Amino acid sequence: MANRKGARARFGNIRKLPSGRFQARYVGPDGLSHNAHTTFDTKGDAEAWLATVRADIVREAWSPASVTSTRQALTFGTYAERWLSGRRLEARTRAHYRSLLDRQILPTFKGVPLRHITPDLVRDWYATTAIDTPTLRSHAYGLLRTILAQAERDETIRSNPCHIRGAGNSKRVHKIKPATLPELEKIVTTMPERYRLMVLLAAWCQLRFGELAELRRGDVDTKAGVLRIRRGVVRANGERIVKKPKSDAGIRNVAIPPHLLPLVRGHLLEHTEPGKDGLLFPAKQGGHLAPSSLYRVFYRARAAAERPDLRFHDLRHTGAVLAAQTGATLAELMGRLGHSTPGAALIYQHAAADRDMELARRLSALTGTQETT
């Protein structure tokens, strides 16, 4: 009895893949090695599948044609759904991937067997996908490449057919022009009073909308002149989700410029919800402020400042450039902005250098002379 169990156990073999899933393979009556048409969540599932194959062989119901057709029947749509459901992702990232799949990727690849996706098919899809939105296009290509890379690691396909150089990278389409101090002043004075401090903190403290919308009384220390950034609020699948910053660098204390402190104290008295957990910038009906509610009045304010190109998030860029102009080091900028890598902070230093050169040219212009070559 024990020998018969051992014999059954020796049919085929199972290995654990880097993804954590299990792959089953066996040598068929044709003397060739065959992989299962899919990978399995558990080793027990893989063993059960091998048992059914062995039973087919014993009943002489096995054929290499049936194995091939089953393997080819695994479509991209089926595999992509399983890939997405098996990933631990933040709600906002999952919603983004869901949107990319539904709108950009699945309309072309849903019913295509994985093994039939060729480099030519990928190039044809890329040539016509989201051509007017390069960032969205690069995200869609990156997701397709990632899913097919996993299929390659699972040995479901022989190689990843995504080989378009640079397709996963996008260049910034919106070139940010920082607001000048007079423009910022005009925007602030045009905004409703309850939102004026929000604009000022976005610029002078370089805060994101989600960080501002989740600020509470307990996060504001007017004696020390500090804002404690510990959380942010994001919207995903129609729900508002309060969560910690993506990295430890996002958890930070931001010093409030002294000229804003009287305005902060006044706002706490007039517009903030009561209690330690009261929101600093609540919606009129209470609860978190929706971006659309702010944008309706912000758009009018930026028009009054003759800056229709300025997005609310660009105020953070404005403040970062101003901080860089004061001589802030790269490390200081990273700390203030909550960046874990220096790449983004370097952008602000470069922008400040460009503006400093412009100031130097204007100073020279005052003398009525120019450099000669």
SS (H, E, C) 217-276: HHHEECCCCEEEECCEEEEECCEEEEECCCCHHHCEEEECCHHHHHHHHHHHHHCCCCCC
Return the bridge partners of 113, or none.
75
User: Is residue 169 packed enough to be buried (19+ CB in 10 Å), middle (13-18) or exposed (0-12)?
Assistant: exposed
Distance (Å, whole) CA 29 – CA 22: 23
| CA 367 to each of CA 341, 359, 361: distance values in angstroms, whole numbers, following the listed order | 42, 13, 10
Distance (Å, whole) CA 360 – CA 76: 58
Q: 199 is written with which tokens?
A: 């604009």
Residue type, position 301, single letter: A
Element (H, E) at 52: helix 43-58
User: Is residue 123 packed enough to be buried (19+ CB in 10 Å), middle (13-18) or exposed (0-12)?
Assistant: middle
Return the bridge partners of 239, or none.
236
Residues annotated catalytic, as ranges:
208, 313, 316, 339, 348
Residue type, position 189, single letter: T
Q: 201 is written with which tokens?
A: 């903190």
Q: 75 is written with which tokens?
A: 């479509």
DSSP secondary structure code for residue 105 in this structure:
I
Distance (Å, whole) CA 218 – CA 148: 47
Distance (Å, whole) CA 136 – CA 51: 45
SS (H, E, C) 148-206: HHHHHHCCCCCCCCCCCCCCCCCCCCCCCCCCCHHHHHHHHHHCCHHHHHHHHHHHHCC
